[in-house]
């Protein structure tokens, strides 16, 4: 079974005492990742799926010592042996976090758990678990992973960093893995979509993923009663994808107040449906503080929801790809000087379908205005322009 990059990040923590928490959007492969870690663990192992009421019953006992003894009996655990307990879909039993804390503190049991979103987990994991967990977010496939899942590269070619991605490459190398990038842009990075060859089936899977968002995620929050409002917001955000949000105008169009809109945005970001990119914070120009740019977390879902331009699609994919390497912000000075993305407050990127020499010079000037010494164009076309990075290497 093919492994995601996150597997190799988490693997060294398998024998640390802290619980490993894996979260992310629905159907990105959290359960598969946990299964791979489960199979890799050397010691006794137990697996529970809290979608199953029978598995839930084991953790409903208020006597935590009795729960431990039941786990010992199920695993045939001896006193000097390690025990790994994997729990899928923990949001179905919120009180289980108290048991996890108790088991870590008193018996040294190792836990790996999955939950459908960060929005759930902020409430599920109280401060009492501070210092007792490692939280990992599994996104949709990166393009490298997309190539792996389609048999174009091997696992030893998977791991990369931003320095490797932006390093200049020979023209022959530049063209080697470009051919599938348009498919990645159109259909996105959900694993099942990426590994399906029939185009109509790809679209059906995307529709099912979008439907499951309404059927499952929204039902968790009773305050989100008006699904129509949330649906209308998503449609409006889709056509604004890549733009700075005007909260007052957006609230007015939907017919809700600003507070409710902020709550909806927090919810959508919390379940990883979209990402909100803030303005660059180190600028001496205080007028840039404020609005954020919105990007859908998957281009396949974006394409399903609205008809967007090729430029919006490319910028969205790049935003999600760069986010693998750290924190993103953008620069905008009175709509005159703009930089699409600044990574970790250190590297500036401007995204173009085809970069031209004037674009490179303009980016260099804008970056120097805010003290950024490294800047790169990201182009979806092979070009001779200066420092150009190609998105299919990100």
Cα distance between the two ends of the chain: 23
pLDDT at 284 over 70: no
Mean of the per-residue pLDDT values of the chain: 89
Please tell me what DSSP assigns to residue 179: T
4-40 pLDDT per residue, tens: 999 999 999 999 999 999 999 989 999 999 999 999 9
Beta bridge partners, 338, equal 332
Burial level of 143, CB count in 10 A (0-12/13-18/19+)?
buried
User: What structural domains does the chain harbor?
Assistant: 5-137 (3.40.50.300), 143-393 (no CATH)
Could you tell me how far CA 101 lies from the centroid of its own chain?
A: 26
pLDDT at 337 over 80: no
pLDDT at 287 over 50: no
135-190 pLDDT per residue, tens: 999 999 999 999 999 999 888 888 778 998 898 888 788 888 889 999 999 999 99
Give the DSSP per-residue string, 95-112. Answer: THHHHHHHHHHHH--EEE
- Nearest CA to 166 out of 382, 385, 377 is that of 377
pLDDT of the residue at 221 = 57
Q: What is the mean pLDDT of residues 201-218?
A: 89
pLDDT of the residue at 271 = 87
- Nearest CA to 83 out of 94, 75, 73 is that of 75
Could you tell me how far CA 347 lies from the centroid of its own chain?
A: 21
Question: Regarding beta strands 328-333 and 337-343, do their DSSP bridges make them parallel or antiparallel, or are they unpaired?
Answer: antiparallel
Percentages helix, strand, coil for the chain (3-state, rounded to 5) are 50, 15, 35
**What CA–CA distance (Å, rounded) separates 182 from 19?**
39
Q: Are 276 and 297 in contact (CB under 8 A)?
A: no
Question: pTM score > 0.85 for this model?
Answer: yes
pLDDT at 289 over 60: no
The model's confidence at residue 276, banded by pLDDT at 50, 70 and 90, is very high
What does the block give as tokens for 365?
A: 């000037």
pLDDT of the residue at 285 = 47
- Nearest CA to 380 out of 366, 393, 372, 390 is that of 390
Spell out the SS3 assignment of 326-351: CCEEEEEECCCEEEEEEECCCEEEEE
Which residues are CB-neighbours of 162 under 8 A, at least 6 positions away? 322, 325, 326, 343, 347
- From the DSSP assignment, how many helices (H) and strands (E) are in the chain? 18, 12
What does the block give as tokens for 162?
A: 């931003």
Total number of residues shown for the chain: 394
pLDDT of the residue at 225 = 60
């Amino acid at each position: 079974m093919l492994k995601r990059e996150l597997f190799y990040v988490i693997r060294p923590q398998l024998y640390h005492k802290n619980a490993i928490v894996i979260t992310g959007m629905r159907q990105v492969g959290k359960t598969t990742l946990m299964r791979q870690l489960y199979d890799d663990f050397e010691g006794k192992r137990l697996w529970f799926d809290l979608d199953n009421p029978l598995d839930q019953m084991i953790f409903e006992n208020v006597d935590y010592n009795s729960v431990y003894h039941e786990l010992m009996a199920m695993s045939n655990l001896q006193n000097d042996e390690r025990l790994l307990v994997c729990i899928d879909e923990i949001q179905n039993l919120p009180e289980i976090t108290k048991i996890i804390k108790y088991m870590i503190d008193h018996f040294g049991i190792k836990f790996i758990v999955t939950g459908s979103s960060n929005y759930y987990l902020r409430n599920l994991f109280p401060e009492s678990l501070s210092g007792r967990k490692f939280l990992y977010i599994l996104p949709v496939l990166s393009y490298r992973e997309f190539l792996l899942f389609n048999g174009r590269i091997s696992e030893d070619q998977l791991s990369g960093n931003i320095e490797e991605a932006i390093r200049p490459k020979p023209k022959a190398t530049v063209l080697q893995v470009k051919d599938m990038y348009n498919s990645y842009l159109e259909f996105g990075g959900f694993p099942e979509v990426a590994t399906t060859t029939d185009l109509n089936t790809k679209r059906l899977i995307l529709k099912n993923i979008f439907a499951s968002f309404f059927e499952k995620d929204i039902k968790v929050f009773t305050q989100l009663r008006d699904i129509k409002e949330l649906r209308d917001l998503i449609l409006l955000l889709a056509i604004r994808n890549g733009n700075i949000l005007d909260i007052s105008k957006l609230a007015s169009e939907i017919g809700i107040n600003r507070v409710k809109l902020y709550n909806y945005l927090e919810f959508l970001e919390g379940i990883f449906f979209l990402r909100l990119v803030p303005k660059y914070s180190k600028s001496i120009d205080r007028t840039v503080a404020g609005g954020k740019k919105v990007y859908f977390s998957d281009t396949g879902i974006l394409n399903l929801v609205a008809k967007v331009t090729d430029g919006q699609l490319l910028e969205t994919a790049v935003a999600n790809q760069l986010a693998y390497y750290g924190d993103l912000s953008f620069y905008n000075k009175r709509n005159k000087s703009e930089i699409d993305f600044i990574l970790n407050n250190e590297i500036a990127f401007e995204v173009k379908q085809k970069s031209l020499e004037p674009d490179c010079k303009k980016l260099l000037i804008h970056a120097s205005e805010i003290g950024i010494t490294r800047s790169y164009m990201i182009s979806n076309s092979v070009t001779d322009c200066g420092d150009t990075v190609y998105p299919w290497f990100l």
